[in-house]
Amino acid sequence: MKRRDLLRHLTAHDCLLLREGGSHSWWHHVVTSKRSAVPRHSEISNHLARKICRDLGIPEPERF
């Protein structure tokens, strides 16, 4: 999955960029107050995208 598609999915489900780390971006879900790191790769594996969504407590992306 492309990183930009994952970020679009996160923002659509009330997630905000918390901070930029060394090689990851930290995202925060406003409703559940959960956080997760998103790597700065142009391509993110489908397995990792599902894990990030589970960590944040949002639905998984429907298409990959």
Q: What is the mean pLDDT of the chain?
A: 95
Say what the pTM is. 0.92
Domain boundaries, the chain: 3-56
Percent of the chain with pLDDT over 90: 92
Q: Which residues contact 26 (CB under 8 A, 6 or more apart)?
A: 17, 18, 19, 20, 35, 36, 37, 38
How high is the pLDDT of residue 28?
97
Find the mean pLDDT for residues 17-40.
95
Q: Is the CATH number of domain 3-56 3.40.120?
A: no
* Helix-strand-coil split of the chain, %, nearest 5: 35, 30, 40
How high is the pLDDT of residue 63?
72
Name the band, by pLDDT with cuts 50, 70 and 90, for residue 64.
low
Find the mean pLDDT for residues 2-8.
96
